[in-house]
Structure 1
Amino acid sequence: MTNNLAIRNKELILRSLAEFTGGNIEVLRNLLHENFIEHSPGNPSGRAAFIEFTASSPVAKARLEIKRVIADDDYAVVHYHMIAPDDARGIAVVDIWRLVDGVITEHWDVVQPVPDDDQIPHGMF
């Protein structure tokens, strides 16, 4: 059974992703806590540093095809296909966001290039 907090967090993530994928990177200014903690190697912590990093990263120019969003209390998990203009196969991504009082405080991710179809007979998504 999903609780109200999980429902609110899922809706917030979906709305914010829609804005972000529409080209509005500024949505992150209100979505991320000032002392946002990043757990992924090579990505900076802190709202300002993370936004600057994201603006120049491949995700800012890619098409994101959301496959599923799962929420549980303070956490929202997003599984999506990230397709950069120069990479037709793309990358499978799972983001885990921790939210407190309607803002993202922490982030983890798992990123995997999508292999040839013959290597994944049941698909990545």
Structure 2
Amino acid sequence: MSENDIAERNKEIVLRGFSEFAAGNVEILRGLLREDFVEHSPGNPSGRDAFVEFIKSSPVAGARLDLKRVVAEGDHVVLHYHMVPQGEGHGIAVVDIWRMVDGQIAEHWDVVQPVPDPGEIPNGMF
């Protein structure tokens, strides 16, 4: 399998998972994440079960997720999306970086930034 084929397969897996998660199915993560999943974001736990339990009570669970772009290269898939938790105005810009191993997510990094008032971003946030 070529690197492009691997990237496309990983992209499809992550996009299916994102779609399910965005529709409210947090449990989809149990099949997507490796048991020894490693989390690099401060305050978020590593390990599949600990991470899923953490996410269930986080603002991302139940938020509106509007996917803006996807980049896939080799074993990495990057998602850029607009997350609007319930009751929040402008929401949050998120970039998730996922490293895949054998069709499952092995590692995760993210960059999170509050979306400011539109007047502060004349060229748009997304």
Pick the TM interval, shorter chain. over 0.9
Identify the residue that residue 32 of structure 1 maps to in structure 2: 33
Instruction: Report the AA paired with residue 92 of structure 1.
Output: A
Q: 1:46 and 1:73 mapped to 2: Cα distance?
A: 23
Residue 100 in structure 1 maps to residue 116 in structure 2: no
Identify the residue that residue 6 of structure 2 maps to in structure 1: 5
- The normalised TM-score by structure 2 is 0.96
Spell out structure 1 runs of 4+ moving beyond 3 A: none
Name structure 2 gaps, 5 residues minimum: none
Q: CA deviation at 1:61?
A: 1.4
Residue 109 in structure 1 maps to residue 103 in structure 2: no
Instruction: Report the AA paired with residue 39 of structure 2.
Output: E
How many equivalent pairs are there? 124
Residue 48 in structure 1 maps to residue 49 in structure 2: yes
The CA RMSD over aligned residues, in Å, is 0.8
For residue 7 of structure 1, give the secondary structure of its aligned residue in structure 2.
helix
Q: 1:45 and 1:16 mapped to 2: Cα distance?
A: 19
Instruction: Report the AA paired with residue 24 of structure 2.
Output: G
Q: CA deviation at 1:88?
A: 2.1
Name structure 1 gaps, 5 residues minimum: none
Instruction: Report the AA paired with residue 102 of structure 2.
Output: D
